[in-house]
Structures are given as C-alpha cells and as structure tokens.
Structure 1
Amino acid sequence: MTISIIENGKKLESTIDFSNFLKEFKRYRLRVILAVLTVTLVAFPLIYSMTPQYSATATIILKAQSDNSTPIDQVEDFDATQAEYYPTQAEVLQSKRVIEAAVRQLDLQNDPLFEIKSTDKVISEDEHVSQIVHAIEKKLSISPVRFSQLVKVSYESNSAEMSAMVTNAVINAYIHLEEQRKIEKTQQAQEWNTTRMAELKEKITQQKSAIDTYLSDNGLLTYQGVDGFETEQLALVNDRLATAKEKRITAKASYNTISEALGYPLEDVATLPSISNHAQLQDLRIALIQAKRSLFDLQKKYGPKNPLILEANAQIEAIKLQTTSLLKELKTGLYKEYQASVERENKYRALLNEQRKNFTKLASKRDAYNTMKADLDKTQELYEKIFLRSKEQELTMLYREPAATLLDPATPPNKPSKPNKALFIIMIFVMTFILSLLFIIIKAALNKSVNNITQVRTRLGLEAIGELRPFNYIEDLPLFSKGFFAHSYSGETIHAIRTSILLNEKSWPTIGLVSTDSDENNELSSYLLAHSLSQDRSTLLIDLDFRKEVSLTEEILMAQPSEDALSSSTAEKEVAEVLPTLTVMGMAEILENNHSINDCIIPLEDNLSLLPRGTLTSTPLLTLSSPELELKLKEVSQQFEQIIIHLPALSESKDTQLIARYLSGVIYTVKAGTLSTNHILTNIDKLTQLQTPIIGAILNNVADDELETEEAQQQLIHQNEDLLS
C-alpha cells in the first residue's frame, strides 16, 4: 500500500465538515432559543432603568504658528512642524490643571450635581475640587481630527446644560492657561536676558581694561592695528632700498658706458644714449660740427698751409681735447655717484633687516592682541543681541495671543447620547445568540469521536460497510439473535453488512472482527455477522479473545441447549454435561495440546458452528505466536466456506497483531460517540503496519439522528410505527 490508511484518515480528518455543526445546532436549537430569550428578558428592565447621559461637543482650531500682528518674534517653546505637537496639545486639553481651572471658573464645588457623597470624613475644598476633576476627567473626550488642526472636545453628563458648560469652560481654561504660560515664558526670558546683560557689561569693561594694560606694557600703538605703524615703516624702508638699488645699477651702467666711450671716436661717443643728453657734451658737439663746416669751406678757398685752415684744425683739436676732458670728469663723477648709491643701498638693507626682526617679534604680540580684541568684539556683539531681544520682550509682554480658536462652541444637546437602549437590547440578543452558536461550534469541533458513517470515511479513512442502532442487549446471545432477526428490518441492518462483503470484488474466506477497546460490542457484531453469513454458507465462528473474563464463548453457551440438540451426538452430550461449568475445549487446547479441531467445534445452528477459545495454560502471546495457528486456520478454512474470528481489542494487547497475519481481511468495529479519532487511528495503524487488508468498518450504537443507511432508517421508521400502533 503506497499510502497507509492512517495517513489517508488524517488527511480526510483535516477537512471541514459543516454537517456536524448543523446537526449539533439542530439538536440544541430549542435550548439556544430559550437561552437567548431568557437573557434578553432579564436584561430588558436593567437597560431601561439606566440613567441617560448627554454629550456636548465643541470644535477648536489649534494654531500652527504665531500671528503676524507684530514683526517681533514671540517666545515659543514648541515646534508646530513636529508630528508630536498636535497629540501633545490634545493631552494638555485634558490635563488636570486645565480641568481644575474650568472647575473653579464654574464654581462646580458648590454645584448640586457635584456635591460630596455622604461620608464620615470631612474633606477640604481642594480635595473636593480634586474629586470633581477626577470625575470630569473620566467623561471628558478629546478627539483630534486627522490631517487637520481641528480638535473635538466632548463631555458627558446627566444634565444637558452641564455638559455644554463644562465643555466650553475646559476650552476657555486651556486658551487662558496657554496665554498665561506664554506671558510667564516671556517674563522668564526677559529676566534671564537682563541678568545676562549685566554680566556681559561687566565682562566688556574688564576686557577693555585688560587690552589697555597689555598695550601699555608692550609699548604698542593701535594705529591701523597693533602693527600698522611698523608695517608702514617697513614698507617705506623697503621702497627706499629699492630706489637706492636702482640708482646703484644706473650709476654703474653709466660709468661703464663712459669708461668704454673714452676709446671711441668723438662722433661715436656723442651718439651714445646714456651721455648724448649731457648739456656740455651737446654744446661741444655743436661747436665741433660748426668747426668742421668752417674747415670744409676754407679748404675749398685756401690750401692746406693757409693760416685759416691751420687755425680751423687747431680749433677742432681743441674741441676734441675739451670733450675728452669732459668725459673724464663725467667718469669720475659717475664713479662717485655709484659708490654713494652702494653705500645708501647697504644702509637701507641693514635698516630693513633690523625692522624685519622687530616685526617678527611683534607678530606674537599682535596675535595676543587680536585674540583679546576678537573676544571683546564677540562679547559686545552678544550684548547688543541680548539688549535688542530684551527690548523686544518688553513689548511682547503686553501682547496677548491665544493658542487656539473656538470654532464651534458646545450647545446643550436635545437628546441623550447614551445609552441606546434599543441597540443594547438588540446587541444582547445577538451576542447571546452568537455565544450560543460559538458554544455549539466549539462543542462540535472538540468532539473528535466518530458518530456516523460519513465520519468513518472522513475521519478514519475506512469504508463504512454498515451501521447498527443501540441494542437492548441481553447476555443470552442466541436468544437475543433470535429476537433480533425475528424483525425483518432489524435483521436487514446485519444482512446489509453481509451484502457489502459479498459485493466486494475480492473474496474474504477468513475475516477477523476487531475493535479498539473491549467495550465496543465487538462480540455481538461478530456473532450477528456470522449468523447472517450462515444463511447460505457453512460458517465457523472462532473465539480468539483470551483477554476478557466473560468471553464470546461463555455468552453463547450460557443458555441451556435443547434436549433434541443434546441427543444428536455423543460429543454434544459431553458438552451438555460440562456447560454449567463452561469449561469446554477450544483453540487453546488445539494449539497447546494438539487436540483435534473437530472435537472442539460446537454446532450452534444450521450452517453455524462455534470454535471456543478454550482454557490457556500459558500466556496468550506465547500461545498465539505458535506456528500451529496458521496451520489450524488453513485446516478449518477447508472445512467451512466462511470463517468469522472474534479478535481481542487492539489497545489492550498484541494478540490481534499475531492473529491478523493469517487472515484474509479485517472488519473494524467502532462504537459511535465514544473514542477519539486519534486513538482509533493509532490502533488502526497497528494493522496497517502488518499490511493486513481492512475490509471496512461497522459503526454500532449509532444515535437515531445520525443514521444514514437505508436499512437503519427503515428499522427506525417501523419501530416508531410499532410504538404508535
């Protein structure tokens, strides 16, 4: 078997079967109706005696930001952009401080509705107000409207007027207290600023005195900063050094030019840029040109020896000598000027180096001064800001800005808000009905027993081959059987089981009947089935239950046999002699002492015989584990067409597991409404592990309203007709 019956049963058991709930409801419907009506009628006077409550509601708008009535910023201790702002204000609305202010505003401590309950202890007015605040707090409701700045305030009271008065008073108290809180906050800030201003003013005086002392001790001037004068002096010396250096270079260049020009022709020297602008040199150059022109004119008129020509040449030579002398003088002067420029340059360089050293030393003093000056500037800046804010707060203390606006004031309601008495009655009716249904559903859900053949299929995964109604059972099985089959409709229930077996495709020559517990009427089912099968075939009923004190054998043989039956054979006479003691031989003697089977078989009716269990001298497990058991069962199967074996309960021993190995199939007997499904499935699994085929299940002791087979329903119908007739 690829899938065991136990797994199949668990799968089917997990399905929801609503028919069980419907049957339970049908069974308890009158009780449910009675319970619902009783509870509703009991609650009716209690509900209509309840005091009506009136609820008045007002709507306010919480301000998200300050008014722009004044350009001066207010002193605020909240941030309306935060998500927590509106829930916080809603909680402030129902705080004890706000409610107490409303109580004192309305003078509720002297109102008859809030009078002190009669007590032996005398309480003060404050304690009385505290009690009123506590009472109002319980009935005050604050409901912020989502995604808006609106808040709804409601209060419930026995009086419609009081509900409206308290609601409006709470809102007014909240607005007033928020205004006072802002004023107090501004006053505290203004006082704090005044104190800080005095401290800062004293600190500024001390910082200025420290700076003056520092400047005086270090001989510093504050001309364009601490190092302003030194910076200008250093720049001036640096400029003079640069000028001296430039003059030195210029003098050196001019000197070098004149020194080189002394070896050049006079005409070339006169064209040099550095000396061509000299006034005397320009005059000599002009004189030289005029002398050469005169010489040229004279040479055209006179000969070379002419005194005029000689005079002109002498004049030209004199001019050249004078020019050479002038150049030498310029050279001497430029050299002196160069030396003077070098001396000035060295002087300014030395002075610059000295001033650099002094300026470097001044840097640390400048940094210290700058630090002190920056500290003073920051202190003065902070003082100015606090001074400005303090003056602003003096003005804002006179300004009143409400934290909320009353949009819709509360008005006395015309109708009470609760209780809705008709709704209460309906709710109690519906709730009682629902609880009753819930009880039925839980009861049905917790009931894991098998009550009908449908549940045999769904919960156990077995094929239901028949069902039996409860029996008026008597211990005399033959007598009971005779009366049972005397009524055709009761006999039909057993014959239906026989028919289910015969209609099966497979033949079942050796069938065992087993149950979970020993009190599930397995003996009766075995005997009735054997009796039904014996109608058209030779049938042997074997009793192999060695565990019960009163066995199937004893229940069958307790009745006295008839004289005709006893005189039929010698063996029967021997049985008749031992019947009173019920010590007949059976399967125990066959297996243990190797007695003949024929000597132990007892004929009961036509085609029906009994093989008793006998008396064991050993334990059942040792006897039933004998290899002879299989041989003996094969032997009797050759003598009889059908063998029915009554097996012991599965939950009480392993006897059935030893026997089931040699059977063609097993029929499982289940007593309706007793054992849980899990317990039955656990024991069925013992057979499944042996791979013994389970033909199906017989469900006995089935309640009349759980019957499903045609035969059982027909039996019930004719039984009721007989009772009516």
Structure 2
Amino acid sequence: MFQRRLRTFIAVAAIVLLAALILTLTAPRLFTAKSRIMFNPSPEQVVASQSVVPDPPAVSTVIDTEVEVLQSRELAQRVTDQLQLQKDPEFNPFLREPSALDRWLAGLGPRKPPEPPASREQLEARGRGAATGAVQRGLNIRRSGLTYIVDVGFTSRDPQKAALIANALAEEYLNSRSEAKMSTTTKANQWLQRRLAKLEPELAAKEAAVAAYRARNNLLSASGATLAEQEISSYNQQLAAARAEEATEQARLDTARSQLARGSRGDDVGEALDSQVIQKLREQRAAVSAAVADLQGRYGPRHPDLLKAQRELGDIDRQIEEEIHRVMSNLEAKTQVARQRTSSLAGSLGAARGGLAGVNAASVSLNRLERDAQVARTDYESLLARYRETSSQAALQDSDAELVSRARTSNAPSSPNVPINISLGVVLALVLGIGAVLLAEAMDDSLATAADVERKLNLTALGSVPLLRSVSSRRDRDMAPAGHVLARPLSVFAESFRTLRAVLLHGEFGGVRIVAVTSSLPGEGKTTVSVCMARSAAQAGLKVVLVDCDLRRRSLNQLLGREPDVGLLEVLSGACGLDQALLPDVSGAMLLPTAHRQTVHQDVFSQPAMDRLLSALSARFDLVLLDTAPVLAVADTRVLAAKAEVVLHVARWRKTSANAVDEGLRHLEQSGATIAGLALTQVDFRKQQRFGYGDPAFYYGQFKGYYANG
C-alpha cells in the first residue's frame, strides 16, 4: 500500500515540511525573560488568631489558582498603565503602519464605508485595551514542577522590554496581594465597629423586655406538662376509641344494607342470625311449612285445614320480617349513638386545646423574647472578640509570597527554535503523509485484485486481462488488441483469454455454449474481450460465433472496421437468413454483426425469434459469445443475460467502482441470469505488483519468460 501511494506520501510530506521551513525562516525573533515568585508554605504568625484574609495553604490547587491570577486581564492592565505600554507600537497596533500583506488582504475584502473619526478618549481606550491584550498574549506563567515556585515569563521582540515587563508583573502581583489583604482587614474593622455600635443598644433593650415580661405575667417557669396537656392526651385516646367504634357500627350497618340491596330477605344478616326471636320463629315456620306440605298432598287446595295452615305460615313470615326491621333499626340507632359520641369527644378536645393555647400564650411570648435576647447577646460577644483580633492584625499583614529572582536581559532569542521546528515539521510531514496514504486507500472503491473482487462483491474472480502496452514490446504497443491475439498467440495477453475460456468451458460451468459478455458501465473493454476470446477460441479449433447485441453502439463493427448490409436485426425479423448475415473473421470465427439501421424501439431480444436464433447457433457452434450493452445503461442486456447459459461480467482495473459493479450484478440477478464471475480488464501488470500481493500478476516478473511477447 505504501509503495503504490508513494507519490502521494512524498507530495504531502514535502508540502508540510516546506511550510514548516517557511514559517520558521520568516517568523520574527522573540526574546523571553523570566522572574520567579516563591509561595511560603508556612507563613509567620505573630498573633494566634485567624486572619481576615487567611493565607491559603501552598498546595497544588492553590498555586495553580495563583498562576491563573497572574495571567488575569486586570493584572495585565495595571502593568500596561504603569509602563505606559499603550504608547508603544509593539503593543498598540493602532500606532503601527499597516504592512504590505495587511494592505493586500484589506484590498481583497469588500470596501467599507469610512467610519466617523473617533474622539481622543475612544482612541486611548482602544489602544489601552489592545496593549493589555498584547501583554496577556506575551505572558508565559507556569509552575516549576511540584515546587512552590512560579516562573513569570514574558516574550517580546526587545529583550530589555521582556525583562522589564516580567519584573513589573511580578512586583505588581505581590503588591496587589498585600494591598488586598490590608484593604480587606481595614474594611472588616470598620464594619465590625459600626455593627457593634448598632448591636449594643439592641441587646440592652431586648434584655430589659425579658425582665419586664416576667414581672408582668408572674412566670417562673414555662416548662413541664400541665393539666390541660394531660386532659388533651386523655381526650385523644378516647376520641380514637370512639372513632374505631363508630367505624365498626357503620361497617355493620353498611353490610346489612348491602345484603338487603342485593335482594336478601334479611335472613343472612349477622344480627338477625344471632337473634333468639328470629331463631324461634324460623323453627315454627319450618313446622308449619311441613304441615302445609302434608295437607297439600292429602287434601285439595280449598281444604279448611290447609287454608288455616297457610294463614299461619304467612303470619310467621310477617313476624320474621318485622323482627328483621327491628334489627336494622337497632343497627342504625347504634351507629347514630357512636357518631354522636365521637362528635362530643371531638368538641371536648377542641375546647381543651383552646384552653391550653390561652394558658401557654404567655410562655410562648416569653420564649420568643428570651431567644431574641440570646441571639443578640451571642452576636455582640462574637463580633466584639473578632474586632479585638482584627485590630491587632491590621499592622501585621504580610504577603505569603516573595520575589526570589528578577528577570534579566537575554541576548539569545527564544523563538523561533529552529531544531524543534524542523523536528516537528518532519514528524508532522510523516504523520500527514501516512494519513494521506491511508485516506486515499480508504476512499478507493475500485477493484485491483482478485481478492478485492471476492471480498467486496462476494463473486468469483475469473482472471485478469492485461493492458497491452504493459506486457508487450515497444514495437507491438501500437498494435490493436484484437490483432495482437492473432499476431502473438503465445503472448501473455493471448494467454489471459485462453484462461478465461478454460474457466468458462471447463470449470464450474463446464459444457456451456452460450456466454454473454457484459459490464456495468461503458468503456470497460467488454467488446475487446468478446473479440479476443472469439479469436482465441477459433485458434484453438473451436467453432465460434460472436453476436453483436449492442444495438446502439454497434461496437463490433467499429472494432473490426466493417459495415455490413444485413445483420442480427434482419435475421430476427426474417428479412434474411442466418447464413446470409454471418461474416467470417480472419481467425476462423464467425461474426453476426448489427447493420447500420435506425434505432429499434421494440424489444427484439424478448421475442421468440431470439430464442430460435440462440438455439440454432448453439446447435451449429461450440461457443456462442454475446457482446451486450452495459447493464446499467440498457435494459436489453438483462433480457439477454437470462437467455444465456452464463454471464461473464468485466470491470476495468482500478477505474470502475465496486458499487457500480455491485449494482450491475444486482440487476443481472434480478433478471435470473447465471453469473459465472468477473474478469478485470486493462490491468497494468507493471503497476499491479504494487497492489496484488499473492495475485498472479504480482509474480509476472518471474514467469513472463514463458511467453513470447514480441
């Protein structure tokens, strides 16, 4: 892969390396100066109290935070103002004359309308902002390993400016830390003093309010359980029991009502089952019912004894029904009593709670007053203690960082670093060159080897037809492929067609006579393959006929240089006989061309005449080759492919994409054609050695001595 993409690799790598060289040689010379700041991990403490601005521990996260502070815009702006860098053209682009490149780039863009002149204040603000940004871009702040030291570097075209700005930035940072601590401590003292002056009268007023309330309400204690609380607890228990009893009675009543609503006579109601009266009435009813049954069987329906027994039975039923009504009325009465008891207890509980609220109202107010006084007392005492501490710290503020090394002027430029730039350019050139090779390979969807055919198309690779100029001598390079097969029958070019014929006639599809040769797209060499295969077979002693089935291009006529008067269409229409249309070839093969006529609009290949013609040809010849049109261009090929015994599909080496071939094969399979396999055409055997490791063409240099190519 690398060998065949060597030109791509060299071109990309050379461009990248040349760009690196140009950038390195044209880059301005820059100088870097560096000062060093050390953070003290254990600052001195004169007083054992917490500072208003405590020194953070010198851990990695804190030092990394300070590195970010050193790169802040506020600090850069203070250095800009201190050194008046907005007046320096190196930092203020508005003071510089535009370069030729800037003027050229400005001329490429659209012309902008002239802006109104800016005021002096606006110009100064723009210059100050631009200079501040330039200072930020020139900074190089980094921590030295895992130490407590931070390097403050600055890069400039002037080595003296670089050292001056690096030192100014470090000093400004240290001063800002000390000023910040001092300012914060002073502000804290002032705030504490004002707060204490406000809290002192508030505390006195709240303590006086507590004492006055105790005296006015005669409250010695507001803790413990009172009688009202005990009474509420008792009512709560009774109310819970009453609600449970009410729920039980209501459930019994609802159950009985539900049974009656479903059509029950009340015999299965729980309370009716437990009633002694109903049980006795049921016993009487059973006896009378037995007597009625006996009398009905003994006498007629109008017998006096039977009528008397029936009246007695009805009277017992009414008594049972009345007793059930009394049971239901009793259930309703019990439920109403339970409900009234619950309501009474709830009212008593509410009254007791109201009494407790009145009793404890004074205690609640007292607790509130005491809490307010305690909060005020705690705030006042804590602020007073803190005020005394900060007052003693105001004059003892010291920075936890110090400048341990000042920046010095350097005469050696820090940029560009030629060795590093060239090394990086070489590495980048190699990486991008290899990437370009891999990208070109990934985007290459063509077919180059038999392995590509089998892997991408899942199809048998029948062979490769070489590009004639890649395997012939100089004197034969201008010879036509069809003539070369006759003139050089022992050449590797002619051998490729004998290989195709052997695979088709003696391989998996041995015994076939009708072979259709087609391709997915035009210009892939299918007509050349058809003619050369026909001549090669004729030289081997086979009876061969080649039929030109490309009605639009008539490629066979163009290749052989003949323009017949009658041909395939005349045979199919019956205008002439087969023998009249057949033409002999110099190789001994027979040709059935297509005469020059107007375009045929009807589908001639699907007619019975075409079937009869193919039967006649297969009976007279050992091999019938059908030179068809491209599958994706003309629908006639799908019809012919289905009539042929096998189809030979050809694709141009490294030109036709696998997707196009796959689409053509799909159309052939849909038409019911039998695809023998695919052959690659116009294969450059000299270049093929870079693609087909393991492919027969890869070993062409070793076996080409077996052929007579010239």
TM (norm. structure 1) is 0.62
The aligned residue for residue 504 of structure 1 is 507
How far is 1:405 from its partner?
4.1
Distance 1:520 1:372, change over 3 A: closer
SS of the residue corresponding to residue 534 of structure 1 reads helix
- Equivalent positions of 1:423-434 (< 5 A) are 423-432=420-429, 434=431
Q: Distance in 2 between matches of 1:394 and 1:380?
A: 21
Which of residues 530, 534, 537 is equivalent to 2:534?
530
8 Å Cα contact 2:80-2:86 kept in structure 1 = yes
Q: Distance in 2 between matches of 1:447 and 1:594?
A: 50
8 Å Cα contact 2:632-2:664 kept in structure 1 = yes
Distance 1:451 1:210, change over 3 A: closer
The aligned residue for residue 520 of structure 1 is 524
Q: Distance in 1 between matches of 2:626 and 2:402?
A: 94
Structure label with greater radius of gyration: 1
The aligned residue for residue 638 of structure 2 is 657
- Equivalent positions of 1:152-551 (< 5 A) are 152-160=151-159, 162-207=161-206, 210=209, 218=216, 227=220, 368=365, 371-373=368-370, 375-406=372-403, 410=407, 412=409, 415-432=412-429, 434-451=431-448, 455-460=452-457, 461-470=459-468, 481-482=482-483, 484-487=485-488, 488-489=490-491, 490-501=493-504, 504=507, 506-551=510-555
The aligned residue for residue 138 of structure 2 is 139
8 Å Cα contact 1:452-1:702 kept in structure 2 = no
Q: Distance in 2 between matches of 1:496 and 1:362?
A: 118
Distance 1:79 1:503, change over 3 A: same
Q: Distance in 2 between matches of 1:116 and 1:409?
A: 29
How far is 1:683 from its partner?
0.4
8 Å Cα contact 1:523-1:646 kept in structure 2 = yes
- AA matched with 2:171: N
Q: Deviations over 1:681-708 (max 9, x none)?
A: 1102223445644334333333353346
8 Å Cα contact 1:624-1:655 kept in structure 2 = yes
Q: Distance in 1 between matches of 2:645 and 2:620?
A: 16
8 Å Cα contact 2:447-2:453 kept in structure 1 = yes
SS of the residue corresponding to residue 466 of structure 1 reads strand
The aligned residue for residue 645 of structure 1 is 626
Q: Distance in 2 between matches of 1:382 and 1:34?
A: 77
How far is 1:59 from its partner?
4.3
- Equivalent positions of 1:629-644 (< 5 A) are 629-644=610-625
8 Å Cα contact 1:546-1:648 kept in structure 2 = yes
Q: Distance in 1 between matches of 2:126 and 2:461?
A: 79
Instruction: Mark the runs of 5 or more structure 1 residues left unpaired by the alignment.
Output: 1-17, 221-225, 229-359, 473-477, 559-578
Distance 1:682 1:174, change over 3 A: same
8 Å Cα contact 2:545-2:592 kept in structure 1 = yes
Q: Distance in 1 between matches of 2:572 and 2:126?
A: 97
Distance 1:435 1:459, change over 3 A: same
SS of the residue corresponding to residue 381 of structure 2 reads helix
- AA matched with 1:465: G
How far is 1:209 from its partner?
5.2
Which of residues 640, 665, 669 is equivalent to 2:650?
669
Q: Deviations over 1:39-79 (max 9, x none)?
A: 566556425xx31322425243265x875431122113797
- AA matched with 1:608: A
Q: Which moved more, 1:79-88 or 1:435-444?
A: 79-88
Q: Deviations over 1:3-57 (max 9, x none)?
A: xxxxxxxxxxxxxxx3xx42131x557756875776566556425xx31322425
How far is 1:500 from its partner?
4.6
Q: Distance in 2 between matches of 1:598 and 1:361?
A: 132
Q: Distance in 1 between matches of 2:619 and 2:401?
A: 106
Q: Deviations over 1:233-270 (max 9, x none)?
A: xxxxxxxxxxxxxxxxxxxxxxxxxxxxxxxxxxxxxx
Q: Distance in 1 between matches of 2:203 and 2:23?
A: 83
Distance 1:615 1:401, change over 3 A: same
Q: Distance in 2 between matches of 1:88 and 1:480?
A: 78
- AA matched with 2:421: F
Q: Distance in 1 between matches of 2:536 and 2:193?
A: 116
SS of the residue corresponding to residue 22 of structure 1 reads coil
How far is 1:651 from its partner?
0.9
Indicate the RMSD between aligned Cα atoms, in angstroms: 4.6
Q: Distance in 1 between matches of 2:546 and 2:126?
A: 92
How far is 1:646 from its partner?
1.1
Q: Distance in 2 between matches of 1:682 and 1:44?
A: 52
The aligned residue for residue 351 of structure 1 is none
SS of the residue corresponding to residue 398 of structure 1 reads helix
Distance 1:372 1:400, change over 3 A: same
How far is 1:112 from its partner?
10
The aligned residue for residue 72 of structure 2 is 95
Distance 1:433 1:227, change over 3 A: closer
How far is 1:164 from its partner?
4.4
Q: Distance in 1 between matches of 2:498 and 2:382?
A: 112
Q: Distance in 1 between matches of 2:370 and 2:442?
A: 90
- AA matched with 1:399: L
Instruction: Mark the runs of 5 or more structure 2 residues left unpaired by the alignment.
Output: 98-118, 222-356, 471-478, 690-695
- AA matched with 2:619: Q
The aligned residue for residue 46 of structure 1 is 26
Distance 1:382 1:660, change over 3 A: closer
- Aligned pairs, how many? 535
8 Å Cα contact 1:78-1:85 kept in structure 2 = no
8 Å Cα contact 1:55-1:417 kept in structure 2 = no
Q: Distance in 1 between matches of 2:363 and 2:516?
A: 119
Distance 1:372 1:694, change over 3 A: closer
- AA matched with 2:486: F
Q: Distance in 2 between matches of 1:153 and 1:665?
A: 81
How far is 1:552 from its partner?
1.8
8 Å Cα contact 2:37-2:401 kept in structure 1 = no
SS of the residue corresponding to residue 539 of structure 2 reads coil
Distance 1:467 1:504, change over 3 A: same
How far is 1:188 from its partner?
1.7
SS of the residue corresponding to residue 460 of structure 2 reads coil
Q: Does 1:583 align with 2:572?
A: no
How far is 1:624 from its partner?
1.4
Distance 1:718 1:153, change over 3 A: farther
8 Å Cα contact 2:91-2:131 kept in structure 1 = yes
SS of the residue corresponding to residue 701 of structure 1 reads strand
The aligned residue for residue 58 of structure 1 is 36
TM (norm. structure 2) is 0.63
Q: Percent identity?
A: 19
Q: Distance in 1 between matches of 2:461 and 2:370?
A: 107
8 Å Cα contact 1:62-1:151 kept in structure 2 = no
Q: Distance in 2 between matches of 1:639 and 1:720?
A: 34
Distance 1:426 1:119, change over 3 A: closer
SS of the residue corresponding to residue 52 of structure 2 reads coil
Q: Distance in 2 between matches of 1:157 and 1:552?
A: 77
